[in-house]
Structure 1
Amino acid sequence: MPSRIALLTPFAFPSVRGNAVTVDRIGRGLRQRGIDLAIWDLSATPEAVVEAAVEAFAPSLIHAFHAYRSGPLALRLARHRELPLVVTLTGTDANHDLFDPERAPVVRRVLEGAAALVVFHESIGERISGALPDLRGRIVTIAQSALLTAGEPFDLPARWTLPARRTLFVFPAGVRMVKNPRLPLAPLGRVVARRPEVRLLYAGPVLDPDEGEALLQALDGLPWARYVGTMPHAQMASLLAQADVVLNCSVSEGGMANSVLEALAMGRAVLASDIEGNRSLVEEGVTGLLFRDERDFERQAERLAGDPALRDRLGAAGRAHVRALYPPEREIDGYLGVYRRLVPVPSA
């Protein structure tokens, strides 16, 4: 009998949060490869219901996506059924929760109870093993991929009337402090003063109400910038196709940002903060541009706004880079390899 995998996640489709997008992509890939997989969304289902459903599903392995949010329940289920536990760590796990005085004991207990720990980039693995050296041998790096289909059209003109000649910067991310959504406003405002065709569009759910309110207040009175709210992930390819530049201003990332991967996959020019998680994908001047502070952002944004050939060159290089190094089948091969070391799984 083929093994069954129970995957617990803090958010799942139709949520458009990064965790949900990643889990949906991985889940589809695993099922296409013959894995009997069930996904439980912990934001939508009470723990007691999840426990009963997992018990009835009778999995061979428990997989937790997000150590702090999904890990405790997953660990309890794995121990109760004497099953191996796989944990995929997010950026929040590795960059914040593992070192937070209140959350660290929970995260450490989950990681120590796991048979395998999946990270998106070697730098995150080094961070984990630096804090918990005894776990180094359990860490596996599986790079994320980008899976965008034609999907649904994003009707930009219905959301925002733009001039015929414009250069559109797009900020596709959930609105929360770690994504630093207000950073572009001052430097891009100075660029707009010199290049009035520049526009800035925000698309994504408000995940931090205080930051969402602060962003809307900052946008008030700026005719060149607009927040269009949450959009289905099925419309992301269409939105990115209409962008000239895609922004990532994050303070930290978990090794790879879905927004950057997807922008590169669509052949868009990327301007990203110069942090470890973004440098894993964006090579300065080759697959995108990086910035260190507001002045650097302004300089790089000005370059991109005024040089369509540069945007095209970076976009083409980024698309080739993602196709060569981060295909979806390689990501799924990685998870199948982890599972196969712990339980029998289909070889096809």
Structure 2
Amino acid sequence: MKVILVTPNFHQQRGNTITVQRIADKLSELKIRTEVVSITEENNIKTLPHGDIIHGFNAYRFYKFKEELATEINQYVVTITGTDLNHDLFDQNKRSDVVQSVIKAEFVHVFSDEAKQLLIREVPSVSKKVVIIPQDTDEFVVDTSSPFKKEEKTSLFVLPAGIRQVKNIPFAINGLKRLHEEFPFIRLLLVGPILEDKEWQKVKTLIDENQQWVQYIGEVPHQKMGTIYHQADVLLNTSYTEGQSTAIMEGMASELPVLVSNNNGNRSLVSNGLTGFVYENIFDFYDYAKQLILNPNKRRELGKAAKQYITKHHTNSNEAMSLLEIYNHIYNESK
């Protein structure tokens, strides 16, 4: 069996890229051949490579890509990844494409029950073909060739995210600025590619204004992220919406306390006060961040609980095997 994995911007270090590469690697271990096709803004692809199964990631982007192909795709699996569910489905210019994408799919793969319930509420007719398969996590090896070195006697907050509006990066800088005035030893490290130039100009202005304690190191190869997590004291996610953040999962697996915004994707991973902190507003953010700065025991407690949660629910979670069961069903039904 050969599976064609179709995903937006595979050349960039995004959450979808990490997810698709992990799935391809895991399927390879199961002796399944895979090939990745990258959907780009200037997409010129009109035909797909031959494959037994087509698996698209991001319902909106995949459907637009599919409709422009010279050959029709009659059977496919689609994975809801976050932006498609939380934004595109509620955008009047994109909603119909998202709806058609999931209606025409053989199966719709989501990462959590929260995502499933939201999708079914909006598109009830797909309820019987929505499948929840939690994401697995990658294991990192800490090496000495880190693209970043933490200053001694500092408390490091790390925000791994592509720079785009939905990630709400200015909130992290502005939110920690007040704390930096009180605790000048805190630092903020931003890691990720520039995905929206307009948003980058906003973020860059804030970085320049706070360069004594905010640093941006750009895109880091995924295999190097373990060294970043190893040096961090707290992992941040300030996104307006999320699917199921691989960065949060990796931080939790690295025994980091996480401080994340209150959205469906983040709540599917983090239980407030138990496996991390989930903030509602700037006041919560300030209070939780201050606790994490002042209380090393709390950091250790949350980090340990976070790792235990990820180990139980997202390590060797049979992600690839569950997908293979779906593929086999489609493959056998088509004979």
TM-score norm. by structure 1 comes to 0.90
Deviation at 1:108, TM superposition (A): 1.6
Do the aligned partners of residues 144 and 8 (structure 1) sit closer, same or farther apart at CA in structure 2, a change above 3 Å counting? same
**Structure 2 residue 72 is matched with structure 1 residue 80:** yes
1:143 is aligned, of 127, 134, 137, to 134
**Structure 2 residue 94 is matched with structure 1 residue 103:** yes
Conserved 8 A contact 2:275-2:305: yes
Query: Which deviates more from structure 2 when the two are superposed, residues 85-94 or residues 100-109?
Result: 100-109
Q: Say which SS state the counterpart of residue 156 (structure 1) adopts.
A: coil
Give 1:41's aligned amino acid: S
Conserved 8 A contact 2:56-2:62: yes
Deviation at 1:96, TM superposition (A): 1.0
**Structure 2 residue 28 is matched with structure 1 residue 37:** no
| Alpha-carbon distance between aligned partners in 2 of 1:138 and 1:75, rounded to the nearest angstrom | 22
Deviation at 1:47, TM superposition (A): 4.0
| Alpha-carbon distance between aligned partners in 1 of 2:28 and 2:242, rounded to the nearest angstrom | 28
- Matched with 1:4 is 2
2:222 is aligned, of 208, 233, 244, to 233
| Alpha-carbon distance between aligned partners in 1 of 2:164 and 2:288, rounded to the nearest angstrom | 24
Q: Say which SS state the counterpart of residue 165 (structure 1) adopts.
A: coil
1:132-281 alignment to 2 at 5 Å?
A: 132-150=123-141, 153-157=145-149, 162=151, 164-222=152-210, 223-254=212-243, 256-281=244-269
Q: May I ask how many residue pairs the two structures share in their alignment?
A: 331
| Alpha-carbon distance between aligned partners in 1 of 2:167 and 2:317, rounded to the nearest angstrom | 29
Conserved 8 A contact 2:89-2:99: yes
Conserved 8 A contact 2:135-2:317: no
1:66 is aligned, of 55, 58, 69, to 58
Conserved 8 A contact 2:137-2:314: yes
**Structure 2 residue 45 is matched with structure 1 residue 48:** yes
| Alpha-carbon distance between aligned partners in 2 of 1:186 and 1:48, rounded to the nearest angstrom | 42
Do the aligned partners of residues 290 and 81 (structure 1) sit closer, same or farther apart at CA in structure 2, a change above 3 Å counting? closer
User: How many percent of aligned residue pairs carry the same amino acid?
Assistant: 31
Deviation at 1:182, TM superposition (A): 0.7
Q: Say which SS state the counterpart of residue 21 (structure 2) adopts.
A: helix
Do the aligned partners of residues 308 and 335 (structure 1) sit closer, same or farther apart at CA in structure 2, a change above 3 Å counting? same
Runs of 4 or more off by more than 6 Å in structure 1?
75-79
Q: Say which SS state the counterpart of residue 183 (structure 1) adopts.
A: helix
Deviation at 1:338, TM superposition (A): 1.4
**Structure 2 residue 281 is matched with structure 1 residue 293:** yes
Deviations 1:27-67 (A, max 9, x none): 10111111121111122984435x1x52xx2x222111111
| Alpha-carbon distance between aligned partners in 2 of 1:81 and 1:181, rounded to the nearest angstrom | 38
Give 1:21's aligned amino acid: I
Q: Say which SS state the counterpart of residue 190 (structure 2) adopts.
A: strand
Q: Which runs of 5+ in 2 are unaligned?
A: none
**Structure 2 residue 4 is matched with structure 1 residue 16:** no
| Alpha-carbon distance between aligned partners in 1 of 2:99 and 2:317, rounded to the nearest angstrom | 31
| Alpha-carbon distance between aligned partners in 2 of 1:70 and 1:105, rounded to the nearest angstrom | 13
| Alpha-carbon distance between aligned partners in 1 of 2:115 and 2:97, rounded to the nearest angstrom | 18
| Alpha-carbon distance between aligned partners in 2 of 1:185 and 1:239, rounded to the nearest angstrom | 19
| Alpha-carbon distance between aligned partners in 2 of 1:129 and 1:44, rounded to the nearest angstrom | 29
Deviation at 1:221, TM superposition (A): 2.9
Give 1:29's aligned amino acid: K
| Alpha-carbon distance between aligned partners in 2 of 1:139 and 1:207, rounded to the nearest angstrom | 30
Deviations 1:230-280 (A, max 9, x none): 1111111110110000000111111x1111101001111100112221111
| Alpha-carbon distance between aligned partners in 2 of 1:4 and 1:219, rounded to the nearest angstrom | 46
Conserved 8 A contact 1:147-1:328: no
Give 1:126's aligned amino acid: Q
| Alpha-carbon distance between aligned partners in 1 of 2:79 and 2:180, rounded to the nearest angstrom | 41
Q: Say which SS state the counterpart of residue 247 (structure 1) adopts.
A: strand
| Alpha-carbon distance between aligned partners in 1 of 2:125 and 2:93, rounded to the nearest angstrom | 22
Conserved 8 A contact 1:75-1:85: no
| Alpha-carbon distance between aligned partners in 2 of 1:38 and 1:320, rounded to the nearest angstrom | 33
Conserved 8 A contact 2:12-2:193: no
Deviation at 1:99, TM superposition (A): 1.7
Conserved 8 A contact 1:287-1:315: yes
Deviation at 1:344, TM superposition (A): 4.7
CA RMSD, aligned part only? 2.0
| Alpha-carbon distance between aligned partners in 1 of 2:73 and 2:88, rounded to the nearest angstrom | 27
